[in-house]
Amino acid sequence: MADAIGGAFNTYWTSVGAAKSAVLSVRSVTDHTCRNVNSLQVGSVLDTQRRRRDALPESYVSIAMP
């Protein structure tokens, strides 16, 4: 999904001759740097109160981002 959004932006910017490109990234509030996202990870436990969540076993699925 994120690749499709970035691809749509990049296709548009290429069509109008702009020298821009979209890359999914996150910005750190502690050291103020931007880091590109290279994988997405999803867990099997819903987001709940931490004390209950920590007691549940959780498995993760991750995919690489190109």
CA torsion angle 46 49 26 32 (round to 10) = -170
Contact 37, 26 (CB under 8 A): yes
Domain count, the chain: 1
Instruction: Encode pLDDT of 14-43 as tens digits.
Output: 888 877 777 788 899 999 999 988 888 898
Domain range enclosing 51: 2-64
Q: What is the pLDDT of residues 37-63, one digit of tens each?
A: 888 889 888 877 877 877 888 899 998
Cα dihedral across residues 50, 46, 27, 33: positive or negative: positive
> Which structure tokens are listed for 56?
């549940």
Which pLDDT score, from 0 to 100, does residue 52 have?
80
The pLDDT of residue 29: 93
* Strand ranges for the chain from DSSP E: 25-27, 34-36, 39-43, 60-64
What letter would DSSP give residue 61?
Answer: E
Global pTM reads 0.51
